[in-house]
Amino acid sequence: MKHIDLNMPFGHSLRLALSLPKGGDARANQDEAVADVLRHLYTIADGRSVQTTVGTIPIAPAIDPSLKDAPIQLESRSDLFALAERQTNFTSADKEVLTRSQDRQRADELPVHITRHNMRVGRTLREFIGRKLSVVGRVAGDALAAELVLRGRSGADARFSVCARVALPGRDLQSKASDANLYRAINRLVARLTRMARKRKTRLRKPRRMLRQQPVMPWLAAGASVFAL
């Protein structure tokens, strides 16, 4: 029996899993399948994140963090597949889809990290922000991630304040907006970021104009000949 601790690095757990006897599950004969199912369990326990120029940004929460509370006791590789199936109905048909989704993100998704001050951010608001900022990601094309800071009502006019930075190769896009309605403030912010992204896209598409040497003015050439005399 092996004890696999999901708090340990993935490589350490994988070595333990591959050292287990195969058991009765035919999928356990393939080392790649064992690595996939173990990686899936790590995703369930830890969530998903992406490395960007602004640091590590979480893009999906953990489904079952309790998997990290105690080491998992396994007698064979087949037990690993059985555990994954109990967690999320993980099947051999799902494995290919899961692997593809782990290897690349959807093209229309932009990882967004939200920082809040004096306010709560529920699921509906997070989904709204994700949909809106995905527009900026599609326009920019090479956007890596976005950081959004939300501040609750403050000041005499009790306005919400939002500011964002979109990480790009090179110079990032940054903007801010405020409004008495939080959703209007986000719409204004996204509109400004989208305009900036379009301007950047147009600027990158324009070929650089080569500087042409200006011809010498005739009167200057004549003056030079007079001084030469």
Domain ranges in the chain are 2-103, 112-205
In sequence order, which residues have a C-beta less than 8 Å from that of residue 211 and are 6 or more positions away? Answer: none
**pLDDT score recorded for residue 161:** 93
Q: What are the pLDDT digits (tens) for 44-87?
A: 888 877 666 666 677 677 778 888 888 998 999 988 888 888 87
Highest mean pLDDT among 40-54, 154-168, 205-219: 154-168
Measured CA to CA, the distance from residue 63 to residue 47 in angstroms comes to 7
Match domain 112-205 to its CATH number in 3.30.160.100, 2.40.50.140, 3.40.309.10, 1.10.10.10: 3.30.160.100
**pLDDT score recorded for residue 194:** 92
pTM of this structure:
0.46
What's the rounded mean pLDDT across residues 175-190? Answer: 93
Q: What are the pLDDT digits (tens) for 77-130?
A: 988 888 888 876 544 444 454 445 444 444 456 788 999 998 888 888 888 998
* Range from 32-41, 51-60, 73-82, 136-145 carrying the lowest mean pLDDT: 51-60
Q: What is the average pLDDT score of the chain?
A: 79
Question: Does the pLDDT at position 162 exceed 50?
Answer: yes
Q: What angle do CA 20, 21, 26 make, to 5 degrees?
A: 115
